[in-house]
Chain A
Amino acid sequence: MASSSSYSSSCNSPCAACKFLRRKCMPDCVFAPYFPPEEPHKFANVHKIFGASNVSKLLNEVLPHQREDAVNSLAYEAEARIKDPVYGCVGAISVLQRQVLRLQKELDATNADLLRYAGASCNRGTGRGSHHGQNSGLYSFSSPWSSSHDPYGDHRN
C-alpha cells in the first residue's frame, strides 16, 4: 500500500493532502504515505482542526516509524472535534473516567461483601474457613488516580 501510494504520488495521483492544497505532490511529500488519495476526508478533517503546517511540524518531530500512528491519532481527534466542537475527544475521556470510577466503587463494594462472607464463614467454623483464607476472592485494581487508596493490598488471588 505504502509503496503504491508513494509511487503514485510521484507519477499518477497526488496524495489527499496535495490534492486538497492544490499543489504538486513531490516524491518526498511528508503527507503522501499517510493521506492516500482515496481518503480525502481524513486530511480535510486534520487540516480543518490542526492546519497543514502544524501537522507537518508534528510529523517532522516524531520518528518515521511513529508517524502513521501519529497521523491516525490526529485524524481521530480531528474527527471527534468536528463531531463535537465543544469537547472533542476530551468528552470521551471524561465519560470513560466516570465509568472507571463507578466500576471501581462497585468492585470495592463487592470486595467488602466478600470480606464479610469470608469472615462470617471463618467465624462459624464450618470447616470451609481455611478454603476462604486461601482464596478470599478479593480483587484489587489499582487505578492511577487512587494510587494511595488500595485497601486490599496484595490479597488478590
Chain B
Amino acid sequence: MASSSSNSPCAACKFLRRKCQPECVFAPYFPPDQPQKFANVHKVFGASNVTKLLNELHPHQREDAVNSLAYEADMRLRDPVYGCVGVISLLQHQLRQLQMDLTCAKSELSKYQNLQGITSHGLIAAAAAAAASHHSNNILNNQYNFLSSSRERERDINLISSTTTGIGIGTGGGGGGRGSADQYNSISHHQFFPRDQQQQQMIRTFDQAAAGNINYDASSLLAMNVSAGIPFQQPRAAAGDDRRTIDPS
C-alpha cells in the first residue's frame, strides 16, 4: 500500500499533480510504481467518475473494483471499438465451439462403448444359448433373463448400464449455442465478433492479470452476473440420458 502520507505520492496524485493527502481515496489502489494503471483508468473513465464509483462501494470491495476498472480501461485502449465486449464475444464463440466438439466426442465415444457392449453381450448370449439347451425354460425370450443366473453376467449388466448412463450419452445432442446470438439484450452479436488476433492476446493478458491481481469470488460472480442479466451463455449439458436397449441377438 502506498505511503502517501509520508513519502511518495500515489500514482493518481502524481498524474494529477496534486498533493497526496493522507485520506486520498486513490492511494491504496494506485501505488506510485504503477503509473500506467491510473493513466489508463483516467483516460477511459476519468478521475472524478472513478472517485464517485469508489465512494459508492464498501472499502473491502474497492480493490477489486479498481482492478476490474484497470482491466477494462486497458482493454478499451487496446481495442477502442470493442474493448472488453470483444473478449466476451470471443469467449462465447469458443464456448460454443467447445460444446460442439464435446458433443461430437461424446457421440463418438458412445459408439465405441455400444460396440463394446454388443461385443461382450454377444459372447455372453452365445454362451448362454449353448447352456440353455440343458435347461427346460426358454431364457432368451427375456432380454436379460439369461444373464441373471451368473454373477459375471450381472456384473456385465451393471457395467453396460453404468457406462451408458454415467457418460450421459446423447446422440441427438446438437450442442448449445445456436441461439446465443439472441442473448445480447439489444446488441447484435455479429457486431462484436473481433476480427483480428489481438483478441487472443487480450484473453492471455486477462488470464495473467487475473492470476495475480484480480481476486474474484466465484459464487458471488455467478450470482451477480446471473441476476444482472449480462448476456453471456451458460453452457448447456452436452448430452441427455439416452440409454440404449441392447439386443442380445
Interface residues, chain A, with chain B CB atoms under 8 Å away:
48-51, 53-54, 58, 61-62, 66, 68-70, 72-74, 76-77, 80-81, 83-100, 103-104, 106-107, 110-111, 113-114, 117-118, 121, 126, 128, 135, 137-139, 141, 143-145
Contact = CB atoms under 8 A, between A and B. Distances in A.
Interface in B80-131: 80-88, 91-92, 94-95, 97-99, 101-102, 104-106, 108-109, 111-113, 115-116, 119
Given A80-B230, A88-B68, A92-B230, A137 B85 contact: no
The A contact surface, by secondary structure, is helix
B228 A84 contact: yes
B154 interface: no
> Which of A48, A69, A93, A104: most chain B Cβ within 10 A?
A93
B203 A97 contact: yes
The B contact surface, by secondary structure, is helix
B207 A97 contact: yes
Given A77-B72, A83-B229, A95-B225, A62 B105 contact: no
B49 A50 contact: yes
Given A76-B85, A80-B230, A92-B232, A87 B204 contact: no
B30 interface: no
Interface of B: 43-46, 48-49, 53, 56-57, 61, 64-65, 68-69, 71-72, 76, 80-88, 91-92, 94-95, 97-99, 101-102, 104-106, 108-109, 111-113, 115-116, 119, 184, 187, 191-192, 200-201, 203-204, 206-207, 210, 214, 216, 218, 221-222, 224-225, 228-230, 232, 234-235, 238
* For the complex of A and B, 9 pairs with smallest distance between CB atoms: A137-B108, A117-B112, A83-B228, A96-B91, A73-B85, A90-B68, A103-B98, A139-B101, A144-B200
Contact of B97 (A48, A58, A77, A141): A141
Nearest to A50: B45
